Structure 1
Amino acid sequence: MLQSVKAYRFFILKAHVKLCFCNFIKHEIHSVGLNDIPKITVTDIRKLLRQKGFAVQDGYTSFITKCAICSGDEKNGDSKVYVNKRTGYFVCPKCDIHGDWNILERLVKRAKIEATIKDYIEKMHQNACQFQKDWQNILDNTTSMSKLNEKEVLDIFRLFEYPYHHEANKVLSDARISTDHTTLYFPLKNAIEKVIGYRKLQAGREEESESHGMHSAGLFWCKAHKVSHNAQAILVPSIQDVLHLAAHKIPGSLVWLNNCNLPPVVLPTLEGYQKLCLWGDWDNMCTVAEKLGEERCRFVRPTDGLVTASETAAANLSLKTLVSEAKPAAHRSITTFSALRDDVYAELTNIDKVRGVKWRRFPALTRLLGGHRRGELTILTGPTGCGKTTLCAEMSLDLAQQGVNTLWGSFEIRNSRLARTMLQQFAGVPLEQNLQDFHKYADDFEKLPIYYLAFHGQQPIKVVMEAVEHARYMHDIAHVVVDNVQFMLGLGEEREGDRYQRQDTVVAAFRTFATARHCHVTLVMHPRKERESEDLSTSSIFGSAKASQEADNVLIIQDKRLTAVRGKKYLQVAKNRYSGDLGIVPLDFEKDSLSYQSKKKNKTKEDPDKLLDQYFEAYSINDQNYDISETKKSNETNKSQNTKQSTSTYLSDILSLNRTS
């Protein structure tokens, strides 16, 4: 009876967690579908606004016009709305209304606001009021950094490991500190310097900053030093860089881009700056410059391997000189070596960064490829059922855990199943046996920058590329995974020539996207049907030779477990355009965690002295009256006698040999 009750409870718990997992997949997964792709052009936006009598100002990233919602309110006065040129997403800094282009289009076209739009606006106002209450609560329970004395500021900077100088509290005058001095709150402001969010940092967990507020449309910046507000802004990836630049009195507004992330909704905040100086990792800042407008962006080139302002300040170099010598972010269509000279030198002095992000789960793969680099195309192939999707999922998960924004296009299996596999790889334990910890693992997994295309089965390449382009712009995607190319094309009824031509078109499209958008693309492809006893090669990839020729890296899973007694599964690096290093990576699958992660073997070498002690203990003499010194003397006597005897025998043999001769 007791066992049946326990079994029933376990069944109820399992069903409950299964339901929670389904809800997690449906609501919390980051998906990108057809409905998310805006069907609007720059011409359409400008034409509609002018037809309805709105004066349009052409900005760097947005069209600026009067707000259709709050422009008639006397309190708001001359309010402005920013309409993104690429997506049509609009933001009004004064009334805190934001949304997609279809909402603004309905507001502009119709004289009377619809009931659904009224409900939407009312909800936005309620969210704004709720945030103001939350922010006021933080203000009441925290202290401004400007009100602390020098000793308190010094202690806080030591706790957070921030660079200190005598005007540090002025630089962070807008920041708030908790009563126990362990948590910092940085206000995020919009284009009119209105606080619409905050960033929370806890001592000892600086890498896990949390952003709160309304649609994350604000930035934290320090006041400019002897420069007009709209003259220049310097964008850096960390608050330490901001403090170093402020200590050196660099002219300009110092803007903190958290990990170089710049959602399009934040662009209006930087619309008023005429010149933007980007200082950070070039791979990330390249995407930032493209969004902000490359014509107004300058980039501080790495010097002697020093990428950030903090590293440069630690080397006692002049930050002001480097900012003044910042170079344009983009080259002309035709350039010379003199224009590329700084880039070449930066790569040579910053070789570790150039090699890319290193896999932590696959150190052997890192040794061969060097790392995961933007702008490259990787082909992964292998026989049917060898685990291509599972391996690719874990490789992308490894990179996502290091901050690489990843977009998955799973055309072969559904996103729910893929998410379950990656969640179990993330947890490292079988989920069905650890149901009580499911929500903990799921909450941590949701924080990873992984997005999924809401496609399955055959899809036109044009639609897929539009979704990929949109996701890259909106979410700063750095890694795109397509699994797999044959399922996406639905190759089944066409003639052989049509198959190859369509596949070549797909490969060419992703090759162009990877190079032009500075994004890494991984294509999972099936090989041709070949004999199981033969190894796969680059010529085994299905289709023409274009895939292997266009690819920078070709990875092949070789599975010999069914064709040999001691057969193994391993990953072969068959092509490596970066360094040319080729080799194999052993793959040992662990079913509980669905992982191919390399296991660290603990080789415990036996101490020779310890083995000798154990040997002598086994053959020790238990007689207490036994004198070991007598044993040593007898051993030495026997040894000398044996030596003399062997010497005399040797001489006698020589004499007898002479006699016979």
Structure 2
Amino acid sequence: MFSASIFRSTSNNLLVNSCIPQLFHSFNSINKPLSNKPTLIDPNPPLVGQAIEIKEYLRQNSISFDESWTCIKALCCRSSNRISGVIHIEKERGEFACLKCSTNGTWADFKTQWQHFRTRTYCPKLNTPSILLSDKELQIWEQSKAIQDKDKELVDAILSRYGFTEEYTISNTTLQRYGIRLYEDQLIAPLYDTDRSLVNIVVLDSTSFSDTKSIKVAAPFGLNLLSARNVEIVLVDSIWDALCVYQTTGKIAIVLPNAKFSIRMNMTFEHLRKIHIWYWNDKALSFRLANVLNPHRCFMITYPMDAHTAFKSGHSLKTIVNESFAVINKCIEQFDTFRDLIRDELLQRTRFAGLQWQRFPMLTEILKGHRAGELTVLTGSTGCGKTTFLSEYSLDLCLQGVNIT
């Protein structure tokens, strides 16, 4: 008698069929990198919904937590008279680490070790060496010297080999701020890890690099400038880009290594509210990086050249950075915005159940009840019983106290 199709649409919940989990898996498995260059991000992202599982587990075990840009944070111990460390749990994969101590591992490790964390009376502070260089690098570092004002002529001569002119050059103040040092007639750039340990150095050798082209770094460059007071940074592709951006804009510019993005790097950037990304020759990598760092705080710079080339050409880097565009447009809804809600409803439908119909058990089984604020579209051929059904539908809800006007 009644033959119709029912579609539901709501801003908060979507009802989809059982094949959607396969769609989620396909969506992630085919998400291959669009660039042949070494990427900062794992090209095989995990299945969505890890954050839901993490928060559900923490609630079930009465663990207080706070949610930030890319991590979920919980206390590392139950100390009453000492400052406790904070465990950061990465939302996508569940990897965790504590900035204060050496505690770290996978989500499976966290679940097996959490009882131990709760019984600890203090969070032991991790003491790491301030310099972690190889013997050869350490020798070069010790023989180098900090740049002083009296070295201006020598520094200008070195910079001129890289194409900088008297009008467009890097100041001694900028070089000193980043810890650039002099080694014979070369410049030495220090690379610091997330714990502020000196882990590597880069010799800016003009005989090996005829121009200021991108030099691959094994560790981040510029992290020694980053502090809790900074709320905005610029991510660039080379050391020279970082120096030029900082000098002209005053914003901290950082170069990231060509390696997988670690949980400790996420923790280091967690307090930042705005991240500009300027990878002019690899747009695909830029957007992948924005996705890892949370696209809601990332802004893309699509200028047709790198920062140091624009600087030497007399372009205003300050204007270029200020004209960066938001990765997430507030007027456009993206799949990433609500995919966790979809998966949560698929796996835990009873949590999203509305008011059940008393006389339509099959309808309740399909739609899980009536939920206020949803739009239900009823379709069917002429005379199939749409109006009759809606009358009975409304009467059922009216008898349960629902305002159907």
Report TM bin, short chain: 0.5 to 0.7
In structure 2, do the counterparts of structure 1 residues 290 and 308 end up closer, same or farther at CA, with 3 Å as the change threshold? same
1:104 pairs with 103, 110, 132, which one?
Answer: 110
Contact 2:71–2:267 at 8 Å: present in 1 too?
yes
Write the letter of the residue equivalent to 1:330. Answer: I
Q: Which secondary structure state, in structure 1, belongs to the residue aligned with residue 310 of structure 2?
A: helix
Measured in 2, the distance between the counterparts of 1:157 and 1:94 equals: 40
**Is structure 2 residue 89 aligned with structure 1 residue 64?**
no
Q: Which secondary structure state, in structure 2, belongs to the residue aligned with residue 321 of structure 1?
A: helix
Could you tell me which runs of 5 or more consecutive residues in structure 2 were left unpaired when the two chains were aligned: 1-41, 334-405
Task: Report sequence identity in percent.
Answer: 15
Measured in 1, the distance between the counterparts of 2:116 and 2:225 equals: 42
Matches within 5 A, 1:582-593: none
Contact 1:174–1:187 at 8 Å: present in 2 too?
no
Partner of 1:144: 146
Partner of 2:229: 229
Measured in 1, the distance between the counterparts of 2:149 and 2:260 equals: 31
Matches within 5 A, 1:191-202: 194-195=196-197, 197-202=199-204
Show CA shifts across 1:123-152 (max 9, x none). x979x4596576995664432345872123
TM-score, length of structure 2 as denominator length: 0.55
Partner of 1:284: 285
Contact 1:221–1:255 at 8 Å: present in 2 too?
yes
Larger Rg belongs to = 1
Shift of 1:244: 1.7
Measured in 1, the distance between the counterparts of 2:193 and 2:148 equals: 18
Contact 2:170–2:243 at 8 Å: present in 1 too?
no
Shift of 1:196: 5.9
Write the letter of the residue equivalent to 2:197. Answer: V
Shift of 1:178: 6.2
Q: Which structure shows the bigger proportion of residues in helix conformation?
A: 1
Show CA shifts across 1:282-339 (max 9, x none). 222111111111111112232xxx232223223322221222222112346759xxxx
1:167 pairs with 157, 166, 171, which one?
Answer: 171
Q: Which secondary structure state, in structure 2, belongs to the residue aligned with residue 277 of structure 1?
A: strand
1:41 pairs with 50, 58, 62, which one?
Answer: 50
Show CA shifts across 1:519-547 (max 9, x none). xxxxxxxxxxxxxxxxxxxxxxxxxxxxx
Measured in 2, the distance between the counterparts of 1:253 and 1:243 equals: 9
Measured in 1, the distance between the counterparts of 2:47 and 2:61 equals: 21
In structure 2, do the counterparts of structure 1 residues 269 and 310 end up closer, same or farther at CA, with 3 Å as the change threshold? same
Write the letter of the residue equivalent to 2:290. Answer: A
In structure 2, do the counterparts of structure 1 residues 267 and 146 end up closer, same or farther at CA, with 3 Å as the change threshold? farther
Show CA shifts across 1:550-577 (max 9, x none). xxxxxxxxxxxxxxxxxxxxxxxxxxxx
Contact 2:188–2:203 at 8 Å: present in 1 too?
yes
Contact 1:233–1:255 at 8 Å: present in 2 too?
yes
Shift of 1:85: 0.3
Shift of 1:60: 0.8
Write the letter of the residue equivalent to 2:171. Answer: E
Contact 2:177–2:225 at 8 Å: present in 1 too?
no
RMSD: 4.3
Contact 1:81–1:91 at 8 Å: present in 2 too?
yes
In structure 2, do the counterparts of structure 1 residues 50 and 160 end up closer, same or farther at CA, with 3 Å as the change threshold? farther
TM-score, length of structure 1 as denominator length: 0.36
Partner of 2:190: 186
State the 4+ residue runs in structure 1 displaced beyond 6 angstroms.
Answer: 36-40
Contact 2:48–2:92 at 8 Å: present in 1 too?
no
**Is structure 2 residue 152 aligned with structure 1 residue 154?**
no
**Is structure 2 residue 97 aligned with structure 1 residue 91?**
yes
In structure 2, do the counterparts of structure 1 residues 130 and 232 end up closer, same or farther at CA, with 3 Å as the change threshold? closer
Write the letter of the residue equivalent to 1:283. Answer: A
Q: Which secondary structure state, in structure 1, belongs to the residue aligned with residue 177 of structure 2?
A: coil
Matches within 5 A, 1:416-435: none
Measured in 1, the distance between the counterparts of 2:81 and 2:151 equals: 42
Measured in 1, the distance between the counterparts of 2:254 and 2:228 equals: 15
In structure 2, do the counterparts of structure 1 residues 67 and 130 end up closer, same or farther at CA, with 3 Å as the change threshold? same
Measured in 1, the distance between the counterparts of 2:235 and 2:96 equals: 23
Partner of 2:255: 256
Measured in 1, the distance between the counterparts of 2:234 and 2:175 equals: 15
- In the comparison of the two structures, how many residue pairs are matched? 277
Shift of 1:246: 2.6
Partner of 1:82: 88
Contact 2:130–2:196 at 8 Å: present in 1 too?
no
Shift of 1:111: 6.2
Measured in 1, the distance between the counterparts of 2:117 and 2:105 equals: 19
Measured in 2, the distance between the counterparts of 1:73 and 1:134 equals: 41
Partner of 1:55: 64
Q: Which secondary structure state, in structure 2, belongs to the residue aligned with residue 276 of structure 1?
A: strand
Measured in 2, the distance between the counterparts of 1:148 and 1:188 equals: 27
Measured in 2, the distance between the counterparts of 1:147 and 1:99 equals: 46
**Is structure 2 residue 181 aligned with structure 1 residue 177?**
yes
Measured in 2, the distance between the counterparts of 1:277 and 1:150 equals: 31
Q: Which secondary structure state, in structure 1, belongs to the residue aligned with residue 93 of structure 2?
A: coil
Write the letter of the residue equivalent to 2:111. Answer: E
Bigger relative contact order (CA 8 A; separation at least 6): 2
In structure 2, do the counterparts of structure 1 residues 74 and 131 end up closer, same or farther at CA, with 3 Å as the change threshold? farther
Write the letter of the residue equivalent to 1:315. Answer: S
Shift of 1:237: 1.0
Partner of 1:318: 316
Shift of 1:158: 3.9
Contact 1:172–1:222 at 8 Å: present in 2 too?
no
Show CA shifts across 1:55-96 (max 9, x none). 31211111122234xx75978x34222211001112322324
In structure 2, do the counterparts of structure 1 residues 201 and 74 end up closer, same or farther at CA, with 3 Å as the change threshold? farther
Write the letter of the residue equivalent to 1:321. Answer: T
Contact 2:70–2:270 at 8 Å: present in 1 too?
yes
